[in-house]
Amino acid sequence: MAISPEEVLHVASLARLTLAPEEVGLFTRQLGEILAYVNKLAEVDTAGVTPMTHVLPEPEAFREDRVSDSLPREEALTNAPAREEGAFVVPRVI
C-alpha cells in the first residue's frame, strides 16, 4: 500500500477535512491506487536528466512597479460571510 490510514488522516487534518471512519478506508485505497499509478514514472530511467519544474521556455515574465486600480471595497467584500468596518470577520484564531 502506498499510503497509510494515518497519513490520510494527517493530510485530511492539514486540509481541515473531517473524515468518517468508512471514508478513511475508502480514501486510503483510492489514494493508494492513484499514487501507485503516478509511481509508474519512477520506472523511467532519469539518470542524466536535469530536473525541471516548469515546461515553458524563458519568457520575460515581469511587470513594472506601477500601481493599478484595486477593487472597490464593496466588491472585495461581496462574498464575505461576515464583515465589519470594511474588514472580513472570522472566528477568533488566537
Partner 1 sequence: MDYEAVIGLEVHAQLLTESKIFCGCATRFGAPPNTQVCPVCLGMPGTLPVLNRRAVEFALKMALATHCRVAPESVFARKNYFYPDLPKGYQISQYERPLAEHGYLDIQVNGTSRRIGITRIHLEEDAGKLIHSDTRPVSFVDFNRTGVPLIEIVSEPELRTPEEAVAYLQGLRNILLYLGICDGNLEEGSLRCDANISLRPVGETAFGTKVEIKNMNSFRFLRQALEYEIRRQRALLLEGREILQETRLWDAAKGQTFSMRGKEEAHDYRYFPDPDLVPLKVSDAWLEDIRRSLPELPAARTRRFMEEYGLPEYDAGVLTADKALADYFEAVLATFPRPKQVSNWIMAEVLRELKKEEAGIASLKVAPRDLGRLLALVEEGAISGKMAKMVFEDMVTSGRDPETIIRERGLTQISDAGALEAQAREILAAHPKEVADYRAGKTKVLGFFVGQLMKRTKGQANPQLANEIFRKLLAD
Cβ neighbours for 91, distance < 8 A, ≥ 6 positions apart: none
Question: How many other β-carbons are positioned within 10 Å of the β-carbon of residue 8?
Answer: 22
In this complex, which beta carbon is closest to partner 1, that of residue 42 or of residue 71?
Answer: 71
The distance of closest approach from Cβ of residue 22 to partner 1 in the complex, given in angstroms and rounded to an integer, is 25
Alpha carbon distance 12, 42 (integer Å): 26
The distance of closest approach from Cβ of residue 11 to partner 1 in the complex, given in angstroms and rounded to an integer, is 9
- Taking CB under 8 A as the criterion, which residues in 2-61 touch partner 1? 10, 14-16, 53-54, 56, 58-59, 61
Query: Among 22, 43, 45, 69, which residue interacts with partner 1 (rule: CB under 8 A)?
Result: 69
In this complex, which beta carbon is closest to partner 1, that of residue 22 or of residue 51?
Answer: 51
* Count, residues in the chain: 94
Alpha carbon distance 24, 13 (integer Å): 12
DSSP-based three-state secondary structure for 83? strand
Binding site for partner 1 (CB under 8 A): 10, 14-16, 53-54, 56, 58-59, 61-71, 73, 76-77, 82, 84-94
